[in-house]
Amino acid sequence: MALRMRDKVALVLGAGSSGPGWGNGKAAAVLYAREGAKLVAVDVRAEAAAETAKIVASEGGEALALAGDVTDEAQIQAIVAETLARFGRIDVLHNNVGITDIGELEDITKERWQRVMDINLTGAMLASKAVVPAMLQQGGGAIVNISSTAAIHINDYHYYSYSASKAGLNHLTRALAIRYAKDNIRVNAIMPGLMDTPLIHRQIAGSYADTEAMIAARNARSPMGRMGDAWDVARAALFLASDEARYITGVCLPVDGGLTCLAG
């Protein structure tokens, strides 16, 4: 079977993992490379980007690791310029950076709210703004935004800024998809549901008595009786980024084991 990303260049923002194991961005970055893409792995933590690039290199792939903050427009522009200088094109922009902020409404500060918006939503806009000119010049490309089912489904977690930022990311996805459809730039989003990734152990575990209670509760809430993992998200991203999805744009795809059907 032909490699689906052969001769393509994938720029993955948030290509590291927030803890040991496989986060969504790390898995997607490695899967793009396994399917033939030249990878630019970017993370705010240089060591996390380097770890992902090292995995790709160990498997015979080509990867460039860069540190970068998606809220800093100058850094994003520099990353895009370095990617183009190294590889000459950008076929896939994968926006994976995101954080949660759990708390009651009365405890949310303007600064906390704005930080989530800057990282989860504005970062994707700045990255798209930086990459789209190159995609226009080369005749097309694909943008994959990692959203969340929290964008469309209210759950038990009190993370208002997270839900709002992901809802905004969904609409940004659709707006850009329509704007650039005639330019052969496809823009889609993935909405992970209940996933077992390092992120939940760092940012959600505090809402439960212990880790085992968290895992059991999240498994029980899924119609499939189990959480998904980073590879489920990565496989969906690979499809949307590949030419197999050449007539798909403006889609916000749940990868959630049927969870959002219950919100129906």
Active-site entry in 32, 160, 162, 180? 162
Residue ranges of domains in the chain, CATH in brackets: 9-199+229-253 (3.40.50.720)
Residue pLDDT, tens place only, 9-21? 999 999 998 777 8
What percentage of the chain reaches a pLDDT higher than 90?
82
Edge-first strand order for the sheet with 38-43 is 63-67, 38-43, 9-13, 92-95, 141-146, 185-192, 252-255
Confidence (pLDDT) at 202: 66
| pLDDT at 199 > cutoff 90 | no
| pLDDT at 1 > cutoff 90 | no
Active site residue 247: no
Residue pLDDT, tens place only, 137-177? 999 999 999 999 999 988 778 889 999 999 999 999 999 99
Residue pLDDT, tens place only, 94-134? 999 999 998 999 999 999 999 999 999 999 999 999 999 99
* DSSP tag of 35: T
Q: What's the mean per-residue pLDDT of the chain?
A: 94
8 A C-beta contact, residue 9 and residue 91: yes
